[in-house]
Homo-oligomer: A and B are copies of this chain.
Amino acid sequence: MYKYNMEELNKKTIDQLNKKGVQVQDIAKIVYELQKDYGEISLEECQDHVQAVLRKRETIHAVLTALAIDQVVDQKLFPEPIQSIIEEDEGLYGIDEVMSLAIVNLYGSIGLTNFGYLDKKKIGIIDQLDKRKGKEVTTFTDDIVAAIAAAAASRLAHKNKEGESK
């Protein structure tokens, strides 16, 4: 009944991020920025953690839903007034952040503070997505990318600690 297996779903999720101009590498760079002061890490390691986050069913569901909303709002297919509210990324609209919690929460509380930080500081690709607003709807996309980065940073921190305590 359910037509896709997890591998296909993971591939489709990365495809749709790419279509929106977001590469796994871009997200890995944010993870590197977040974690570089806490120990020796490589960009490859960061990329592996981003990939691991993107293989989780909950992440896949959140990313695909977020990108789909931005897409239909770009095509002006949502009814008013929510069409305008999302299109203009109205200051107090926070459903994009709430949806991101589906990813952030999976990796414990460090993910949460990293997400809050990224949402305010807008590093790398998050900043670029933010600047495209006006020409293109990125209301949900920028938050979901911040969530993936925050979750991957949290995963990395947990795994490194695990190694250390053995």
Q: How many copies does the complex hold?
A: 4
CB-CB < 8 A to A98: which residues of B? 62, 98-99, 101-102, 109
Assembly CA distance A120 to B37 (angstroms): 13
A10 to chain B, nearest CB (A): 11
Tell me if A106 and B105 are in contact (CB < 8 A). yes
Interface residues in A110-160 (C-beta closer than 8 Å to B): 110, 112-121, 157-158
Question: By DSSP majority rule, is chain A's interface helix, strand, loop, or mixed?
Answer: helix
CB-CB < 8 A to A88: which residues of B? 1-2
Assembly CA distance A72 to B83 (angstroms): 12
Assembly CA distance A99 to B161 (angstroms): 22
Judge if A64 is at the interface, Cβ distance under 8 Å.
yes
Assembly CA distance A161 to B92 (angstroms): 8
Assembly CA distance A164 to B80 (angstroms): 20
Interface size (A, Cβ < 8 Å)?
65
Judge if A40 is at the interface, Cβ distance under 8 Å.
no
Q: Quick one: CB contact mask for A69-102 with B, threshold 8 Å, 1 for yes?
A: 1011001011101111110101111110111011
A86 to chain B, nearest CB (A): 7
Tell me if B68 and A162 are in contact (CB < 8 A). no
Tell me if B112 and A116 are in contact (CB < 8 A). yes
Q: A72-B72, A114-B116 are in contact. Are A90 and B2 (CB under 8 A)?
A: yes
Assembly CA distance A94 to B71 (angstroms): 20
